[in-house]
Amino acid sequence: MSESKFVYVTYIRTTPEKLWQALTDSEFNRKYWFGCYQESEWKQGAEWKILGSDGRLYDSGEVLEIDPPRRLVLKWRNEWLPELKADGWSRCVFEIETDGELTKLSVTHTTERPSLFIEKVSTGWPKILSSLKTLLETGRALPRTDQPKA
């Protein structure tokens, strides 16, 4: 198969509602996502983007599916680096499930063709999602992820 795919699963001591908020709220995003934040009206068909702490546009796309607090599907393209933008559209699926007092988060990020972009996000997601778990469980994000990349 010639697609590129990154899958990450983690379990967080939180509720699906809090996790949903952490994933979609701009102010919350900034604390664990290298100072970046998303902007969207968070409804199907709405525009979606990721902005850096200095306001530059990193990624853009569209909300394809939204079912709070369980499922979010984004159409996602990098806008910042020409070689990543050239990879075209990716699809990112967030799935949230409850397992007792635990919340399971699965992130699946794919492109239909082999892509450098998925290679890049494969190193970024573990940092962002580890920091998100730490922030939700301890109130403080991990080092480096709490500020813009140097």
Partner 1 sequence: MAESKFVYVTYIRTTAERLWDALTRPEFTRAYWAETIQHSKWTPGSAWEICVPDGRVWDSGEILEVDHPRRLVLTWRNEHFPEMKAEGFTCLTYEIEPFGDDAVKLMLTHEIAIPGSKVIAAVSNGWPAVLASLKSLLETGEALSAMTKWKDCA
Site residues (CB under 8 A) for partner 1? 8-13, 99-102, 123, 126-127, 130-131, 133-134, 137-138, 142-145
The nearest distance, CB 123 to partner 1, in angstroms, is 8
The nearest distance, CB 131 to partner 1, in angstroms, is 7
* β-sheet bridge partners, residue 10: 105
Note the helical H segments in 1-150.
Answer: 16-24, 26-32, 82-85, 116-138
The nearest distance, CB 81 to partner 1, in angstroms, is 22
The nearest distance, CB 141 to partner 1, in angstroms, is 9
Distance from the Cα of residue 92 to its chain's centroid: 8
Is the preceding peptide bond at 69 cis, omega within 30 degrees of 0? yes
CB nearer to partner 1: pick between 1 and 54: 1
Q: HSE on the CB side for 119, CA within 13 Å?
A: 7
CB nearer to partner 1: pick between 52 and 126: 126
CB nearer to partner 1: pick between 12 and 22: 12
Task: Indicate the Cα dihedral angle 64, 66, 72, 76, nearest 10°.
Answer: 30
CB nearer to partner 1: pick between 44 and 98: 98
The nearest distance, CB 113 to partner 1, in angstroms, is 18
From 107, 115, 130, 128, select the one nearest 33 (Cα to Cα).
128
CB nearer to partner 1: pick between 40 and 134: 134
